[in-house]
Amino acid sequence: MKTYFMGIDTGTNSSKGVIIDEECNIVATHQTEHFMENPLPGFYEHDADKDWWGDFCIISNNLLKKSGVSAHQIKAVGASALGADCLPVDENCKPLRKAILYGIDSRATDEIEELTELYGEEQIKKWYGRELCSSDVMPKILWVKNKEPDVYRKTFKFLTGSSFITAKLTGNYVVDRFLGLASFNPLYNPRTWEPVPELCEYVCRPSQLATIKEATDIAGYVTEEASEETGLAVGTPVITGTDDSGAEAISAGVVAAGKMMIQFGSSIYMILGTNELVDDDRLWREEFIVPGLCDISAGTNAAGSLTKWYRDTIFNDFVINETQTGNNAYENMMVNLDDIPPGSNGLITLPYFAGERTPINDPLARGLVIGLDLSHTRDHLYKSALEGVGYSINQQIKLMESHEEVFIDKIYAVGGGAQNNKWLQIVADIIGKDIYTPKETVGACYGDAMMAALGVKYPGFESFDDLTRYIKSGEKYAPNEDNFEKYQCYQGLYDSLYDKNKEVMHHLSSLHNDTHE
Protein backbone atom coordinates (compact mmCIF):
# COMPACT_ATOMS: atom_id res chain seq x y z
CA MET A 1 0.00 0.00 0.00
CA LYS A 2 1.45 3.36 -1.05
CA THR A 3 2.20 6.05 1.48
CA TYR A 4 1.08 9.67 1.25
CA PHE A 5 1.43 12.90 3.21
CA MET A 6 -0.97 15.83 3.49
CA GLY A 7 -0.17 19.50 3.93
CA ILE A 8 -2.64 22.36 4.31
CA ASP A 9 -1.80 26.07 4.52
CA THR A 10 -4.01 28.98 5.55
CA GLY A 11 -3.19 32.36 4.03
CA THR A 12 -4.60 35.85 4.11
CA ASN A 13 -7.20 35.41 1.38
CA SER A 14 -7.21 31.68 0.73
CA SER A 15 -6.25 28.24 2.01
CA LYS A 16 -4.62 25.52 -0.04
CA GLY A 17 -3.84 21.86 0.47
CA VAL A 18 -1.89 19.08 -1.20
CA ILE A 19 -1.35 15.34 -0.99
CA ILE A 20 2.10 14.10 -2.05
CA ASP A 21 3.56 10.61 -2.40
CA GLU A 22 6.89 9.25 -1.11
CA GLU A 23 8.76 10.97 -3.98
CA CYS A 24 7.09 14.33 -3.30
CA ASN A 25 4.99 14.03 -6.45
CA ILE A 26 1.74 15.95 -6.22
CA VAL A 27 -1.28 13.67 -6.18
CA ALA A 28 -4.05 16.21 -5.55
CA THR A 29 -4.55 19.86 -4.63
CA HIS A 30 -7.52 21.89 -3.46
CA GLN A 31 -8.02 25.56 -2.66
CA THR A 32 -10.69 27.64 -0.94
CA GLU A 33 -11.18 31.39 -0.64
CA HIS A 34 -12.00 33.51 2.41
CA PHE A 35 -12.00 37.18 3.29
CA MET A 36 -9.92 39.36 5.56
CA GLU A 37 -12.08 41.68 7.66
CA ASN A 38 -11.03 45.31 8.16
CA PRO A 39 -13.49 46.67 10.76
CA LEU A 40 -11.43 49.77 11.62
CA PRO A 41 -8.31 51.47 10.23
CA GLY A 42 -5.35 49.29 11.15
CA PHE A 43 -7.57 46.38 12.30
CA TYR A 44 -7.33 43.15 10.26
CA GLU A 45 -9.09 39.98 11.37
CA HIS A 46 -10.18 36.46 10.44
CA ASP A 47 -12.97 34.28 11.76
CA ALA A 48 -10.78 31.39 12.98
CA ASP A 49 -13.55 28.79 13.13
CA LYS A 50 -14.81 29.59 9.65
CA ASP A 51 -11.70 30.75 7.80
CA TRP A 52 -9.05 28.56 9.43
CA TRP A 53 -10.64 25.38 10.72
CA GLY A 54 -13.55 25.46 8.27
CA ASP A 55 -11.17 25.74 5.32
CA PHE A 56 -8.98 22.94 6.70
CA CYS A 57 -11.93 20.56 6.92
CA ILE A 58 -13.20 21.42 3.43
CA ILE A 59 -9.75 20.99 1.89
CA SER A 60 -8.94 17.75 3.72
CA ASN A 61 -12.17 16.09 2.64
CA ASN A 62 -11.78 17.28 -0.95
CA LEU A 63 -8.17 16.13 -1.17
CA LEU A 64 -9.14 12.62 -0.11
CA LYS A 65 -12.05 12.60 -2.54
CA LYS A 66 -10.06 13.97 -5.51
CA SER A 67 -7.07 11.71 -4.99
CA GLY A 68 -8.91 8.49 -4.21
CA VAL A 69 -6.34 7.96 -1.45
CA SER A 70 -7.62 6.16 1.64
CA ALA A 71 -7.42 8.16 4.85
CA HIS A 72 -5.37 5.29 6.31
CA GLN A 73 -2.73 5.83 3.61
CA ILE A 74 -2.07 9.36 4.91
CA LYS A 75 0.87 8.71 7.23
CA ALA A 76 1.20 12.26 8.59
CA VAL A 77 -0.33 15.72 8.29
CA GLY A 78 1.28 19.15 8.47
CA ALA A 79 -0.44 22.51 8.75
CA SER A 80 0.83 26.05 8.43
CA ALA A 81 -0.98 29.35 8.75
CA LEU A 82 -0.50 33.07 8.98
CA GLY A 83 2.42 33.94 11.21
CA ALA A 84 2.21 36.26 14.20
CA ASP A 85 -1.52 36.12 14.87
CA CYS A 86 -3.22 36.44 18.22
CA LEU A 87 -6.25 34.26 18.88
CA PRO A 88 -7.63 33.85 22.42
CA VAL A 89 -9.53 30.58 22.94
CA ASP A 90 -11.36 28.99 25.87
CA GLU A 91 -10.75 25.53 27.38
CA ASN A 92 -12.69 23.91 24.52
CA CYS A 93 -10.55 25.67 21.91
CA LYS A 94 -13.47 27.94 21.04
CA PRO A 95 -12.34 31.37 19.79
CA LEU A 96 -13.36 34.19 22.12
CA ARG A 97 -13.05 36.86 19.43
CA LYS A 98 -11.93 37.25 15.82
CA ALA A 99 -8.27 36.46 15.26
CA ILE A 100 -5.99 39.51 15.26
CA LEU A 101 -3.76 39.08 12.23
CA TYR A 102 -0.02 39.37 11.73
CA GLY A 103 2.02 42.55 11.11
CA ILE A 104 -0.61 44.05 8.85
CA ASP A 105 -2.75 44.65 11.97
CA SER A 106 -1.44 47.75 13.73
CA ARG A 107 -4.02 48.24 16.48
CA ALA A 108 -1.53 47.71 19.33
CA THR A 109 0.48 50.92 18.88
CA ASP A 110 -0.37 52.09 22.41
CA GLU A 111 0.75 48.74 23.80
CA ILE A 112 4.03 48.94 21.85
CA GLU A 113 4.69 52.30 23.49
CA GLU A 114 3.64 50.94 26.89
CA LEU A 115 6.00 47.97 26.69
CA THR A 116 8.85 50.07 25.34
CA GLU A 117 8.46 52.53 28.19
CA LEU A 118 8.21 49.71 30.73
CA TYR A 119 11.31 47.75 29.64
CA GLY A 120 13.30 50.50 27.91
CA GLU A 121 14.52 50.75 24.33
CA GLU A 122 17.87 49.15 25.14
CA GLN A 123 16.28 46.01 26.60
CA ILE A 124 13.79 45.78 23.73
CA LYS A 125 16.65 45.85 21.22
CA LYS A 126 18.51 43.14 23.18
CA TRP A 127 15.46 40.92 22.85
CA TYR A 128 14.52 41.68 19.24
CA GLY A 129 17.56 43.26 17.61
CA ARG A 130 15.17 46.10 16.72
CA GLU A 131 12.23 48.07 18.08
CA LEU A 132 8.90 46.44 18.92
CA CYS A 133 6.56 46.44 15.94
CA SER A 134 3.16 45.31 14.73
CA SER A 135 4.53 41.87 13.80
CA ASP A 136 5.08 40.98 17.46
CA VAL A 137 2.45 39.03 19.38
CA MET A 138 3.26 40.37 22.84
CA PRO A 139 1.68 43.81 22.27
CA LYS A 140 -1.34 42.15 20.63
CA ILE A 141 -1.91 40.02 23.75
CA LEU A 142 -1.55 43.13 25.90
CA TRP A 143 -4.09 44.90 23.67
CA VAL A 144 -6.62 42.17 24.48
CA LYS A 145 -5.79 42.49 28.18
CA ASN A 146 -6.15 46.28 28.11
CA LYS A 147 -9.06 46.72 25.71
CA GLU A 148 -11.08 43.52 26.16
CA PRO A 149 -10.63 42.44 29.79
CA ASP A 150 -13.61 40.06 29.69
CA VAL A 151 -12.04 38.19 26.78
CA TYR A 152 -8.69 38.14 28.54
CA ARG A 153 -10.22 36.76 31.72
CA LYS A 154 -11.83 33.86 29.83
CA THR A 155 -8.74 33.08 27.73
CA PHE A 156 -7.31 29.61 28.27
CA LYS A 157 -4.64 29.95 25.56
CA PHE A 158 -3.35 32.64 23.22
CA LEU A 159 -2.73 30.87 19.92
CA THR A 160 -1.44 31.66 16.47
CA GLY A 161 -2.95 30.20 13.29
CA SER A 162 -1.01 26.94 13.06
CA SER A 163 -1.41 26.38 16.82
CA PHE A 164 -5.19 26.67 16.53
CA ILE A 165 -5.46 24.18 13.66
CA THR A 166 -3.14 21.70 15.38
CA ALA A 167 -5.14 22.03 18.60
CA LYS A 168 -8.37 21.35 16.71
CA LEU A 169 -6.80 18.25 15.17
CA THR A 170 -5.15 16.81 18.28
CA GLY A 171 -6.44 18.58 21.40
CA ASN A 172 -2.85 19.67 22.19
CA TYR A 173 -1.71 23.29 22.38
CA VAL A 174 1.70 23.70 20.75
CA VAL A 175 3.66 26.29 18.81
CA ASP A 176 6.84 25.65 16.85
CA ARG A 177 10.18 26.99 18.04
CA PHE A 178 10.51 29.33 15.04
CA LEU A 179 7.24 31.12 15.83
CA GLY A 180 7.39 30.74 19.58
CA LEU A 181 10.82 32.25 20.07
CA ALA A 182 10.42 34.93 17.39
CA SER A 183 6.81 36.09 17.21
CA PHE A 184 6.13 35.59 20.93
CA ASN A 185 9.54 36.94 21.94
CA PRO A 186 10.49 37.43 24.79
CA LEU A 187 7.69 35.54 26.55
CA TYR A 188 9.62 32.26 26.20
CA ASN A 189 13.13 31.60 27.47
CA PRO A 190 15.21 30.90 24.31
CA ARG A 191 17.29 28.28 26.12
CA THR A 192 14.59 26.33 27.96
CA TRP A 193 11.63 27.14 25.65
CA GLU A 194 9.56 27.63 28.82
CA PRO A 195 7.45 30.75 29.53
CA VAL A 196 9.27 33.47 31.49
CA PRO A 197 7.04 34.10 34.55
CA GLU A 198 8.26 37.64 35.32
CA LEU A 199 7.56 38.74 31.73
CA CYS A 200 4.32 36.85 31.37
CA GLU A 201 3.12 38.38 34.62
CA TYR A 202 2.65 41.75 32.95
CA VAL A 203 1.27 40.50 29.64
CA CYS A 204 -0.38 37.13 30.27
CA ARG A 205 -0.28 34.13 32.57
CA PRO A 206 2.39 31.50 31.69
CA SER A 207 -0.38 28.91 31.48
CA GLN A 208 -1.98 30.91 28.65
CA LEU A 209 0.93 30.11 26.32
CA ALA A 210 1.28 27.01 24.16
CA THR A 211 4.08 24.46 24.55
CA ILE A 212 7.06 24.94 22.22
CA LYS A 213 8.16 22.07 19.98
CA GLU A 214 10.13 21.80 16.77
CA ALA A 215 8.03 22.31 13.64
CA THR A 216 8.51 18.66 12.64
CA ASP A 217 7.87 17.21 16.10
CA ILE A 218 4.70 15.15 16.46
CA ALA A 219 2.20 17.40 18.23
CA GLY A 220 -0.37 14.66 18.65
CA TYR A 221 -2.78 12.49 16.73
CA VAL A 222 -6.08 13.09 14.98
CA THR A 223 -8.94 12.75 17.47
CA GLU A 224 -12.30 11.10 16.80
CA GLU A 225 -14.03 14.47 16.64
CA ALA A 226 -11.44 15.87 14.22
CA SER A 227 -11.65 12.68 12.15
CA GLU A 228 -15.38 13.17 11.65
CA GLU A 229 -14.87 16.73 10.44
CA THR A 230 -11.76 16.28 8.29
CA GLY A 231 -12.12 12.75 6.93
CA LEU A 232 -8.67 11.88 8.27
CA ALA A 233 -8.18 8.59 10.09
CA VAL A 234 -8.22 8.58 13.88
CA GLY A 235 -4.65 8.40 15.16
CA THR A 236 -2.99 10.01 12.13
CA PRO A 237 0.20 11.78 13.31
CA VAL A 238 0.08 15.60 13.15
CA ILE A 239 3.28 17.64 13.25
CA THR A 240 3.51 20.92 15.16
CA GLY A 241 3.61 22.93 11.92
CA THR A 242 4.71 26.53 11.48
CA ASP A 243 3.80 29.76 9.74
CA ASP A 244 3.00 30.03 6.05
CA SER A 245 6.14 31.91 5.07
CA GLY A 246 8.42 29.48 6.86
CA ALA A 247 6.72 26.48 5.28
CA GLU A 248 6.92 28.05 1.85
CA ALA A 249 10.61 28.82 2.36
CA ILE A 250 11.19 25.14 3.13
CA SER A 251 9.28 24.16 -0.01
CA ALA A 252 11.61 26.42 -2.03
CA GLY A 253 14.80 24.99 -0.54
CA VAL A 254 15.75 27.51 2.16
CA VAL A 255 17.55 24.88 4.20
CA ALA A 256 21.06 26.43 4.17
CA ALA A 257 22.77 29.82 4.43
CA GLY A 258 22.59 31.92 1.26
CA LYS A 259 19.28 30.48 0.10
CA MET A 260 16.53 33.08 -0.14
CA MET A 261 12.78 33.08 -0.63
CA ILE A 262 10.70 36.03 -1.77
CA GLN A 263 7.06 35.22 -1.13
CA PHE A 264 4.68 37.13 -3.40
CA GLY A 265 1.43 36.88 -1.48
CA SER A 266 -0.97 39.51 -0.20
CA SER A 267 2.21 40.94 1.25
CA ILE A 268 5.88 40.32 0.44
CA TYR A 269 7.81 38.21 2.89
CA MET A 270 11.51 37.52 2.46
CA ILE A 271 13.56 34.91 4.28
CA LEU A 272 17.32 34.54 3.79
CA GLY A 273 19.22 31.73 5.49
CA THR A 274 22.23 32.92 7.53
CA ASN A 275 24.88 31.20 9.63
CA GLU A 276 24.24 33.39 12.65
CA LEU A 277 21.84 35.95 14.09
CA VAL A 278 22.38 39.36 12.50
CA ASP A 279 21.16 42.38 14.44
CA ASP A 280 19.74 45.22 12.35
CA ASP A 281 16.88 47.22 13.80
CA ARG A 282 15.50 47.79 10.30
CA LEU A 283 15.04 44.04 9.69
CA TRP A 284 14.09 40.92 11.64
CA ARG A 285 16.19 37.94 12.59
CA GLU A 286 15.31 34.58 14.06
CA GLU A 287 16.56 31.08 14.56
CA PHE A 288 14.94 29.40 11.58
CA ILE A 289 12.84 26.23 11.35
CA VAL A 290 15.88 24.23 10.27
CA PRO A 291 17.88 23.41 13.44
CA GLY A 292 21.21 25.29 13.45
CA LEU A 293 20.16 27.73 10.71
CA CYS A 294 19.33 31.39 11.35
CA ASP A 295 17.68 33.86 9.02
CA ILE A 296 17.12 37.50 8.22
CA SER A 297 13.57 38.27 7.22
CA ALA A 298 11.72 41.30 5.94
CA GLY A 299 8.21 42.21 4.89
CA THR A 300 6.36 44.62 2.61
CA ASN A 301 2.77 44.94 3.80
CA ALA A 302 1.08 45.51 0.44
CA ALA A 303 1.86 43.40 -2.62
CA GLY A 304 -0.92 41.12 -3.84
CA SER A 305 -3.32 43.20 -1.74
CA LEU A 306 -2.13 46.26 -3.69
CA THR A 307 -2.67 44.60 -7.07
CA LYS A 308 -6.12 43.52 -5.85
CA TRP A 309 -6.88 47.11 -4.85
CA TYR A 310 -5.90 48.27 -8.35
CA ARG A 311 -8.03 45.55 -9.93
CA ASP A 312 -11.13 46.32 -7.87
CA THR A 313 -10.78 50.11 -7.80
CA ILE A 314 -8.97 51.29 -10.94
CA PHE A 315 -9.58 48.39 -13.34
CA ASN A 316 -13.12 47.54 -12.29
CA ASP A 317 -14.19 47.25 -15.92
CA PHE A 318 -11.81 44.30 -16.27
CA VAL A 319 -13.51 42.64 -13.30
CA ILE A 320 -16.90 43.07 -15.00
CA ASN A 321 -15.44 41.72 -18.23
CA GLU A 322 -14.08 38.68 -16.36
CA THR A 323 -17.53 37.80 -15.05
CA GLN A 324 -18.94 38.09 -18.59
CA THR A 325 -16.20 36.44 -20.66
CA GLY A 326 -13.95 34.58 -18.24
CA ASN A 327 -10.91 36.65 -19.31
CA ASN A 328 -8.70 37.03 -16.25
CA ALA A 329 -8.65 40.62 -15.00
CA TYR A 330 -5.10 40.42 -13.67
CA GLU A 331 -3.80 39.14 -17.00
CA ASN A 332 -5.57 41.94 -18.86
CA MET A 333 -4.02 44.49 -16.48
CA MET A 334 -0.56 43.39 -17.66
CA VAL A 335 -1.20 43.57 -21.42
CA ASN A 336 -0.03 47.16 -22.05
CA LEU A 337 2.82 47.27 -19.53
CA ASP A 338 5.53 46.19 -21.98
CA ASP A 339 5.05 49.50 -23.81
CA ILE A 340 5.87 51.46 -20.66
CA PRO A 341 9.61 51.99 -20.00
CA PRO A 342 11.35 51.32 -16.67
CA GLY A 343 10.32 54.01 -14.21
CA SER A 344 6.83 54.35 -15.72
CA ASN A 345 7.68 57.68 -17.38
CA GLY A 346 8.78 59.35 -14.16
CA LEU A 347 6.48 57.74 -11.58
CA ILE A 348 7.38 56.22 -8.21
CA THR A 349 4.95 54.46 -5.87
CA LEU A 350 5.59 53.92 -2.18
CA PRO A 351 3.45 50.80 -1.55
CA TYR A 352 2.61 51.72 2.05
CA PHE A 353 -1.14 51.32 1.53
CA ALA A 354 -1.45 49.28 4.74
CA GLY A 355 1.33 50.89 6.74
CA GLU A 356 4.71 49.24 6.44
CA ARG A 357 6.79 46.65 8.16
CA THR A 358 10.50 46.58 7.33
CA PRO A 359 12.64 48.56 6.96
CA ILE A 360 10.66 51.45 8.47
CA ASN A 361 8.37 49.51 10.87
CA ASP A 362 5.75 52.25 10.71
CA PRO A 363 2.05 51.33 10.87
CA LEU A 364 1.15 54.97 10.18
CA ALA A 365 3.03 55.12 6.87
CA ARG A 366 0.77 55.71 3.89
CA GLY A 367 0.90 55.05 0.16
CA LEU A 368 2.38 57.66 -2.14
CA VAL A 369 2.43 58.13 -5.92
CA ILE A 370 4.76 60.89 -7.04
CA GLY A 371 5.63 62.27 -10.47
CA LEU A 372 2.17 62.35 -12.03
CA ASP A 373 1.46 64.49 -15.08
CA LEU A 374 -1.36 64.57 -17.61
CA SER A 375 0.35 62.06 -19.89
CA HIS A 376 0.08 59.23 -17.38
CA THR A 377 -2.57 56.54 -17.70
CA ARG A 378 -3.82 53.88 -15.32
CA ASP A 379 -1.33 51.51 -16.98
CA HIS A 380 1.51 53.78 -15.86
CA LEU A 381 0.07 53.82 -12.36
CA TYR A 382 -0.18 50.05 -12.24
CA LYS A 383 3.33 49.41 -13.54
CA SER A 384 4.62 51.96 -11.02
CA ALA A 385 2.88 50.01 -8.25
CA LEU A 386 4.57 46.77 -9.36
CA GLU A 387 7.89 48.61 -9.53
CA GLY A 388 7.27 50.10 -6.09
CA VAL A 389 7.06 46.61 -4.61
CA GLY A 390 10.28 45.79 -6.49
CA TYR A 391 12.02 48.86 -5.05
CA SER A 392 10.94 47.76 -1.58
CA ILE A 393 12.37 44.28 -2.15
CA ASN A 394 15.64 45.75 -3.43
CA GLN A 395 15.89 48.21 -0.56
CA GLN A 396 15.72 45.32 1.89
CA ILE A 397 18.13 43.10 -0.05
CA LYS A 398 20.67 45.93 0.01
CA LEU A 399 20.27 46.24 3.78
CA MET A 400 20.80 42.49 4.21
CA GLU A 401 23.92 42.50 2.04
CA SER A 402 25.34 45.48 3.92
CA HIS A 403 26.33 42.97 6.64
CA GLU A 404 29.65 41.31 5.80
CA GLU A 405 28.60 37.90 7.09
CA VAL A 406 25.48 37.81 4.88
CA PHE A 407 25.52 36.44 1.34
CA ILE A 408 22.87 35.48 -1.22
CA ASP A 409 23.50 32.35 -3.25
CA LYS A 410 20.10 31.77 -4.88
CA ILE A 411 16.72 33.52 -4.85
CA TYR A 412 13.43 31.69 -5.25
CA ALA A 413 10.17 33.53 -5.89
CA VAL A 414 7.05 31.79 -4.61
CA GLY A 415 3.40 32.57 -3.94
CA GLY A 416 0.52 33.62 -6.15
CA GLY A 417 2.32 36.70 -7.48
CA ALA A 418 5.19 34.53 -8.71
CA GLN A 419 2.87 33.28 -11.45
CA ASN A 420 3.05 36.79 -12.96
CA ASN A 421 6.14 36.44 -15.14
CA LYS A 422 6.20 40.12 -16.13
CA TRP A 423 6.22 41.18 -12.48
CA LEU A 424 9.08 38.80 -11.71
CA GLN A 425 11.04 40.22 -14.64
CA ILE A 426 10.50 43.74 -13.33
CA VAL A 427 11.78 42.71 -9.91
CA ALA A 428 14.80 40.90 -11.41
CA ASP A 429 15.63 44.03 -13.42
CA ILE A 430 15.38 46.19 -10.28
CA ILE A 431 17.48 43.99 -7.97
CA GLY A 432 19.98 43.00 -10.66
CA LYS A 433 19.95 39.33 -9.64
CA ASP A 434 18.63 36.09 -11.11
CA ILE A 435 15.29 34.96 -9.72
CA TYR A 436 14.09 31.36 -9.94
CA THR A 437 10.72 29.79 -9.43
CA PRO A 438 10.45 26.26 -8.02
CA LYS A 439 9.21 23.58 -10.41
CA GLU A 440 6.43 22.77 -7.94
CA THR A 441 4.65 25.99 -7.11
CA VAL A 442 1.75 24.91 -4.90
CA GLY A 443 3.28 26.86 -2.03
CA ALA A 444 3.49 26.46 1.72
CA CYS A 445 1.26 23.38 1.81
CA TYR A 446 3.93 21.53 -0.19
CA GLY A 447 6.46 22.37 2.52
CA ASP A 448 3.93 21.25 5.16
CA ALA A 449 3.58 17.85 3.52
CA MET A 450 7.34 17.41 3.21
CA MET A 451 7.83 18.35 6.86
CA ALA A 452 5.11 15.86 7.80
CA ALA A 453 7.24 13.16 6.15
CA LEU A 454 10.23 14.42 8.15
CA GLY A 455 8.12 14.31 11.32
CA VAL A 456 7.48 10.57 11.08
CA LYS A 457 11.04 9.98 9.80
CA TYR A 458 9.82 8.25 6.68
CA PRO A 459 12.75 6.58 4.82
CA GLY A 460 14.48 9.22 2.70
CA PHE A 461 13.24 12.05 4.94
CA GLU A 462 15.71 11.90 7.83
CA SER A 463 16.82 15.56 7.72
CA PHE A 464 15.99 18.86 6.04
CA ASP A 465 18.98 18.38 3.72
CA ASP A 466 17.19 15.36 2.27
CA LEU A 467 14.46 17.65 0.94
CA THR A 468 16.83 19.20 -1.60
CA ARG A 469 16.61 15.98 -3.62
CA TYR A 470 12.98 16.72 -4.34
CA ILE A 471 13.12 20.50 -4.91
CA LYS A 472 13.70 21.36 -8.56
CA SER A 473 14.06 24.76 -10.22
CA GLY A 474 11.49 25.97 -12.72
CA GLU A 475 11.79 29.26 -14.63
CA LYS A 476 14.78 31.61 -14.42
CA TYR A 477 14.41 35.39 -14.68
CA ALA A 478 17.74 37.04 -15.50
CA PRO A 479 17.99 40.83 -15.14
CA ASN A 480 18.12 43.02 -18.22
CA GLU A 481 21.29 45.06 -17.67
CA ASP A 482 19.95 48.17 -19.45
CA ASN A 483 16.81 48.14 -17.37
CA PHE A 484 18.86 47.54 -14.20
CA GLU A 485 20.92 50.66 -14.89
CA LYS A 486 17.80 52.75 -15.54
CA TYR A 487 16.19 51.56 -12.31
CA GLN A 488 19.15 52.62 -10.14
CA CYS A 489 18.19 56.30 -10.27
CA TYR A 490 14.60 55.49 -9.38
CA GLN A 491 15.78 53.26 -6.54
CA GLY A 492 17.75 56.11 -5.00
CA LEU A 493 14.74 58.40 -5.16
CA TYR A 494 12.50 55.67 -3.71
CA ASP A 495 14.87 55.17 -0.78
CA SER A 496 14.64 58.88 0.10
CA LEU A 497 10.88 59.37 -0.18
CA TYR A 498 9.75 58.01 3.19
CA ASP A 499 11.97 60.27 5.29
CA LYS A 500 10.93 63.29 3.25
CA ASN A 501 7.21 62.54 3.62
CA LYS A 502 6.92 60.79 7.00
CA GLU A 503 5.53 63.83 8.82
CA VAL A 504 2.82 64.41 6.22
CA MET A 505 1.90 60.69 6.21
CA HIS A 506 1.43 60.68 9.96
CA HIS A 507 -0.67 63.84 9.85
CA LEU A 508 -2.90 62.40 7.15
CA SER A 509 -3.16 59.12 9.04
CA SER A 510 -4.34 60.93 12.18
CA LEU A 511 -6.91 62.90 10.19
CA HIS A 512 -8.22 59.70 8.62
CA ASN A 513 -8.37 57.88 11.95
CA ASP A 514 -10.23 60.79 13.54
CA THR A 515 -13.09 60.28 11.08
CA HIS A 516 -13.52 56.68 12.31
CA GLU A 517 -13.64 57.40 16.03
pLDDT, tens digit (0-9, with 9 covering 90-100), for 459-499: 999 999 999 888 888 899 999 999 999 999 999 999 999 99
**What's the total number of domains in the chain?**
2
Q: How confident is the model at residue 509 (pLDDT cuts 50, 70, 90)?
A: confident
Same domain, 366 and 511: yes
Same domain (yes/no): 104, 189: yes
Residue 424 in domain: no
Last residue of a domain, one of 210, 245, 280: 245
Please check whether residues 16 and 152 belong to one and the same domain.
yes
**87 and 147 together in one domain:** yes
Contact predicate 2/73, CB 8 Å: yes
- Identify the domain containing residue 217 by its residue range: 4-245
Last residue of a domain, one of 187, 216, 245: 245
Q: What is the pLDDT of residue 134?
A: 87
Interaxial angle between packed helices 137-147 and 109-119, expressed in degrees from 0 to 180 and rounded to the nearest 10: 110
Q: Is residue 429 situated within a structural domain? A: no
46 and 125 co-located in one domain: yes
How confident is the model over 159-179, as a mean pLDDT?
Answer: 97
Could you tell me if residue 169 is inside a domain? yes
52: DSSP letter: I
Give domain status of residue 123, yes or no.
yes
Whether 400 shows a pLDDT value over 80: the answer reads: yes
- What is the number of H-type helices and E-type strands within the chain? 17, 22
- The amino acid at residue 170 is T
Average predicted confidence (pLDDT) for the chain: 94
Rounded-to-integer distance, Cα 18 and Cα 79, Å: 11
In a domain, 510, yes or no: yes
CATH assignment at residue 157 = 3.30.420.40
- 454 falls within a domain: no
Give the global pTM. Answer: 0.84
What are φ and ψ of residue 395, in 5° steps? -55, -40
Same domain, 298 and 332: yes
Same domain, 100 and 41: yes
Q: What is the CA radius of gyration of the chain?
A: 22
Number of neighbours of residue 409 by Cβ within 10 angstroms: 11
Q: Is the pLDDT of residue 117 over 80?
A: yes
Q: Is residue 27 part of a domain?
A: yes
pLDDT of residue 199: 84
Query: Do 228 and 271 have their domain in common?
Result: no
φ, ψ of residue 270 to 5 degrees: the values are -120, 135
Burial of 469: CB neighbours in 10 Å, binned 0-12, 13-18, 19+? exposed
Return the SS3 of 270.
strand
Across the range 131-160, mean pLDDT stands at 95
Q: Which pLDDT band holds residue 230 (cuts at 50, 70, 90)? A: very high
Q: What average pLDDT does the segment 504-511 reach?
A: 91
Please state, in angstroms and rounded to a whole number, the distance separating the CA atoms of residues 193 and 213: 8
How remote is the C-alpha of 236 from its chain's centroid? 27
